[in-house]
Structure 1
Amino acid sequence: MDYDFDYDLLAELTETHGPPGYEGNVRDIVRRELEDEVDHVESDAMGNVVGTVEGEADHEVVVAAHMDEIGFMVRRIDEKGFVAIDALGGWDPEVLRAQRVVVQTEQGKLPGVIGSVPPHTGGSDDDEREVHDVRVDVGLPKAEVEERVDVGDLVTMDQRTEPLGGCISGKSIDNRVSVFALLELARRVDDPAATIHFVATVQEEVGLRGAQTIGVDLDPDLALALDTTVANDLSDFDEYDHVTDLGAGAAIKLKDSSVITNRKVHRRLREVAEGEGIDHQFEVLPAGGTDTGGLQRAHGSVPVGAVSIPTRYLHTPTEVAHADDIAGAIDLTAAFLASEDGTHDYTL
């Protein structure tokens, strides 16, 4: 399939491993891609990356997307040599059965599986397991596991990124697809009126932590977050319960559990979308927070908005986003930034 964007870069980002607090491999890609597109690149003690394009107006805009993916940390090796793990981010234990994983050790990557008891033996109490109860099997004797795996090593899903009809499926679509959009935006920005900070944040999945510190360090006049959102346009859901629909356009966030976006910001996003003929929809997310909330209140009050990419099967190893929605989110944000010159009043 032909895409209106760099599919290979998106696949590289999604297939790279980077759970909360250990986003270094993703950070390296972000820095590599930003170096030639911005005036300067910096990072902080938490690992946030900021690529800045200087503008002429006395007006600063942050555009942020988080780099981390949900994953696990090793907490111990049990008496039989299986690896016990602790969750980094929100997992449904049900999706973990029969999955391939990678343990990131000091000696390199160690493949493993999260097994599931076969039905031939009458099944088990798998349905009642919590993430804390899950074990990783690396296929080695206990002594060798203890030699190679340390408490604190990271575990992430092992999944390829693949085209799926008009969509793209893989692990960590949440939120590498938005990091990809951030990098595409940096390529498009040319001589902006406002100073624009392209920010790849850390530790969003464990409490919006990176965004909160960025809000203090930069003190922007306006902040936009880029993230995924729920597309539960499935047979099991009534149409009126859909948060967003795949392929219906970029989502303009109105609220989630961490934020109610500034109404002047989301109305202007709508005006830009309508003026540019960009397909869009509105997002009212009942549960789940994003960096938008962290940016809104980290340095006093900041007007915030968010552009979201509808995604099916969030927080699973097989997340699915539509190529048209990805392209639309980039187009909408680019058009919005091109018209952001400091003259728009977002005070309420």
Structure 2
Amino acid sequence: MVREFDLFRELTETSGAPGYEDRIRTVVRREFEGVVDVVRTDAMGNVVGTVEGRRDPEYEVAVAAHMDEIGFMVRHVTDDGFLQVDPLGGWDPRVLRAQRVTVHAADGDRPGVIGSPPPHTLDEEDLEAEDAVEDVYIDMGIDPAAVTDQVATGDLVTVDQRTERVGSTITGKAIDNRVSLYAMLQAAKMVDPAVTVHFAATVQEEVGLRGARALGVDLDPDLAIAVDTTVANDVPQVGDEADYVTELGEGAAIKLKDSSVITNPKVHRRLRRIAETEELPYQIEVLPSGGTDTGGFQQSAGAKPVGAISVPTRYLHTPTEVVRETDVTAVVDLLAAFLDAEDGENDYTL
């Protein structure tokens, strides 16, 4: 079971589109209080909580989990009072029909819906047309004049969804990547590291790993570990098991590659050894596409050894992402065990 479900729910239900992670940043800073030795925020909005090493403070490890969720930015308000939007992150437009959303206006949040015309009124050409984010219209249910008064170009929009337990899983929006943010915060509360650990809640990952790249200029870690979600395609729609990437219930995923990084072999082998020693369930992740903050750190901080631990997640980048509770716990425990075991003496050079 997830140990602090109320915190998990708060993290996932709180809004925070790329570049506008203010609300989630407040939660992270609150959770760092009394846990880390120093907290700082940079000009991009990355939050870093540092725990000084009790034995070798000069050796530094960075752990990154991004705060942002995919969302939208208002690009136009029509004369009829409907909002048109640009995507912030990788939306699959097929999942956007008939969704409830929250419009984050300057003077407060406003509800809205992404409408979908009923099939009774659509001709064959309309029914066969491919969806596109550019075709999304948000209906706020108020007079056009009121929409113009309340909403402006540049306002943010996020999906409105509750986080709930469903059997042995948890479903909700923004599980990518708030589940990993949760895992990092939990691990920070558990560890007593021999080396200095920087717990970094990063921004703008969904639009190009931007926060991690900027943070890698300020931090100069000897080792970097990212925590993120990964694909779990163990569903009926995917017939070939080779395309599953990971499966729910099989434990933490230890990443070997994605499209942004090939993790250091010595790092991922050590993660496997620790998982086996601690009798923690794990699986190997080979992700054909998609990137994480691991790649961002390696690109900006130079030739650093990097690794990544992932949370297997079904239905990524939809409003109903799903994780298994036992996998979340395995990720927390593996990250904490890895950090506690790091003594600065491991040679990760190849």
| TM bucket normalised to smaller | over 0.9
Report the secondary structure of 1:31's partner residue: helix
Per the normalisation by structure 1, the TM-score is 0.98
Amino acid at match of 1:43: T
1:127 deviates by: 4.2
Report the secondary structure of 2:318's partner residue: coil
Report the secondary structure of 1:232's partner residue: coil
1:285 corresponds, among 266, 282, 287, to 287
Report the secondary structure of 2:273's partner residue: helix
Structure 2 equivalent of residue 330 of structure 1 = 332
Structure 1 equivalent of residue 76 of structure 2 = 76
Q: Is the 8 A contact 1:104 1:153 kept in 2?
A: yes
Tell whether 2:345 aligns with 1:347.
no
Report the secondary structure of 1:179's partner residue: helix
Judged with a 3 Å threshold, the aligned counterparts in structure 2 of structure 1 residues 283 and 12 are, in CA distance, closer, same or farther, namely same
Structure 2 equivalent of residue 17 of structure 1 = 15
Q: Is the 8 A contact 2:2 2:328 kept in 1?
A: no
Amino acid at match of 1:228: T
Tell whether 2:147 aligns with 1:131.
no
Amino acid at match of 1:319: E
How many angstroms apart in 1 are the aligned matches of 2:121 and 2:302? 59
Q: Is the 8 A contact 2:188 2:336 kept in 1?
A: no
RMSD: 1.0
Tell whether 2:45 aligns with 1:54.
no
1:306 corresponds, among 299, 305, 308, to 308
1:150 corresponds, among 124, 149, 152, to 152
Q: Is the 8 A contact 1:231 1:312 kept in 2?
A: yes
1:122 deviates by: 3.1
Q: How many residues align?
A: 345
Structure 2 equivalent of residue 222 of structure 1 = 223
Q: How does 1:1-348 map to 2 (within 5 A)?
A: 3-55=1-53, 56-57=55-56, 58-122=58-122, 124-125=126-127, 127-190=129-192, 192-237=193-238, 238-348=240-350
1:50 deviates by: 0.3
Report the secondary structure of 1:248's partner residue: coil
1:98 deviates by: 0.3
Please list every run of 5 or more consecutive structure 1 residues that lacks an aligned counterpart in the other structure: none
Identity across the alignment (%): 63
1:125 deviates by: 4.9
Report the secondary structure of 1:26's partner residue: helix
Judged with a 3 Å threshold, the aligned counterparts in structure 2 of structure 1 residues 151 and 4 are, in CA distance, closer, same or farther, namely closer
- The farther-off stretch of 210-219 and 22-31 is 210-219
Cα offsets for 1:259-296 (capped at 9, x unmatched): 00000000000000011110000000001111110011
Amino acid at match of 2:329: A
Report the secondary structure of 2:216's partner residue: helix
Cα offsets for 1:234-259 (capped at 9, x unmatched): 11221122100001000000000000
How many angstroms apart in 1 are the aligned matches of 2:128 and 2:230? 29
Q: Is the 8 A contact 2:252 2:282 kept in 1?
A: yes
1:4 deviates by: 4.3
How many angstroms apart in 1 are the aligned matches of 2:24 and 2:129? 34
Amino acid at match of 1:80: D
How many angstroms apart in 1 are the aligned matches of 2:306 and 2:48? 18
Q: Is the 8 A contact 2:102 2:158 kept in 1?
A: yes
Judged with a 3 Å threshold, the aligned counterparts in structure 2 of structure 1 residues 215 and 126 are, in CA distance, closer, same or farther, namely farther
Amino acid at match of 1:231: A
Q: Is the 8 A contact 2:119 2:127 kept in 1?
A: no
Per the normalisation by structure 2, the TM-score is 0.97
Q: Is the 8 A contact 1:116 1:126 kept in 2?
A: no
How many angstroms apart in 2 are the aligned matches of 1:279 and 1:66? 24
How many angstroms apart in 2 are the aligned matches of 1:173 and 1:243? 18
Report the secondary structure of 1:223's partner residue: strand
Q: Is the 8 A contact 1:46 1:202 kept in 2?
A: yes
How many angstroms apart in 1 are the aligned matches of 2:79 and 2:128? 20
How many angstroms apart in 2 are the aligned matches of 1:64 and 1:41? 14
Amino acid at match of 2:22: G
Report the secondary structure of 1:243's partner residue: coil
Amino acid at match of 1:84: Q
Amino acid at match of 2:43: A
Report the secondary structure of 1:182's partner residue: helix
How many angstroms apart in 2 are the aligned matches of 1:31 and 1:264? 33
Report the secondary structure of 1:260's partner residue: coil
Please list every run of 5 or more consecutive structure 2 residues that lacks an aligned counterpart in the other structure: none
Amino acid at match of 1:38: V
- The farther-off stretch of 119-128 and 232-241 is 119-128
Report the secondary structure of 2:12's partner residue: helix
How many angstroms apart in 2 are the aligned matches of 1:87 and 1:7? 30
Report the secondary structure of 2:186's partner residue: helix
Report the secondary structure of 1:132's partner residue: helix
1:129 deviates by: 2.8
- The farther-off stretch of 88-97 and 56-65 is 56-65
How many angstroms apart in 2 are the aligned matches of 1:218 and 1:233? 37
